[in-house]
């Protein structure tokens, strides 16, 4: 499997499971606890019931608290280059945008227009520490996980394209494999991608050792103690 490819079965599985499941499965694949490439703090999901978004990151930095000092021509050309960057690269893809004004973000990059445009360019979602708006009018099938919600675009403009970005405690580079949902997001380490499908299935099997008995009539502390021993023996 190349750095920028996913098997159809792994992609389908990642789209079905939530981000906490993937977070745990990465530790199973690594054989230890301590994985920390996940977002910290509460984030806002445009559609909490949407399936997880999975894709290779297309990154950029924006700002909007203050008006840009560069000429309109420079700003316009950089925005076009931003769209060219978003249209390029491996698929599936996710836009990962750092708002440089964080934690004082006021400018909503993500609204009805940009979600529609980005979906049209072949992306399947967005992750940002910044602002989203137009709730109820965002493009269907294009979930956004954002740092906050607000009404205005303020002076929003593109600052940098295709560089590593910081979003809610994680560093994301262009080409990183990202998984995100209403819980937040994480970067899947390249070295575990080939093992991740098996790790997810193994972890789900281990959890069933507890969840199965706990959901049966007559569950009690004795059954818990037995099930928990089996569970601990099977997990990382």
Please list, residue by residue across 37-73, b when 16 or more beta carbons sit within 10 angstroms of its beta carbon and e when fewer do: bbbeeebbbbbeebbbbbbbbbbbbbbbeeebeeeee
**Residue 133 annotated as part of some ligand binding site:** yes
- Of the candidates 116, 162, 160, the residue with the CA atom closest to the CA atom of residue 142: 116
CB atoms under 10 Å from CB of 142, counted, come to 23
**Residue 18 annotated as part of some ligand binding site:** no
Q: CA-CA distance, 210 to 226, in Å (whole number)? A: 9
In whole angstroms, how far apart are CA 163 and each of 85, 86, 135, 212?
11, 13, 29, 46
Residues that constitute the known binding site for Mg(2+): 134
Binding positions: 133-134
Binding region for substrate:
133
């Amino acid at each position: 499997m190349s750095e920028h490819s996913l098997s159809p079965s792994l992609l389908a599985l990642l789209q079905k499971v939530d981000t906490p499941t993937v977070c745990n499965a990465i530790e199973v694949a690594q054989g230890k606890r301590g994985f920390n490439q996940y977002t910290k703090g509460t984030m806002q999901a445009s559609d909490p019931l949407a399936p997880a978004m999975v894709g290779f990151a297309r990154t950029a930095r924006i700002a909007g608290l203050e008006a840009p000092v560069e000429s309109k021509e420079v700003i316009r050309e950089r925005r076009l280059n931003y769209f060219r960057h978003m249209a390029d690269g491996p698929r599936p893809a996710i836009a990962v945008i750092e708002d440089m004004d964080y934690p004082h973000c006021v400018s909503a990059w993500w609204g009805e227009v940009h979600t529609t445009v980005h979906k049209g360019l072949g992306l399947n979602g967005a992750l940002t520490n910044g602002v989203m708006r137009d709730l109820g009018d965002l493009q269907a099938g294009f979930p956004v996980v954002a740092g906050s919600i607000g009404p205005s675009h303020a002076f929003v403009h593109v600052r940098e394209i295709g560089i590593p970005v910081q979003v809610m405690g994680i560093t994301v580079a262009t080409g990183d494999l990202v998984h995100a949902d209403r819980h937040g997001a994480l970067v899947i380490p390249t070295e575990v991608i080939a093992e991740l499908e098996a790790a997810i299935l193994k972890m789900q099997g281990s959890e069933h050792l507890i969840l199965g008995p706990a959901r049966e009539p007559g569950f009690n502390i004795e059954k818990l103690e037995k099930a928990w021993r089996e569970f601990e023996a099977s997990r990382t």
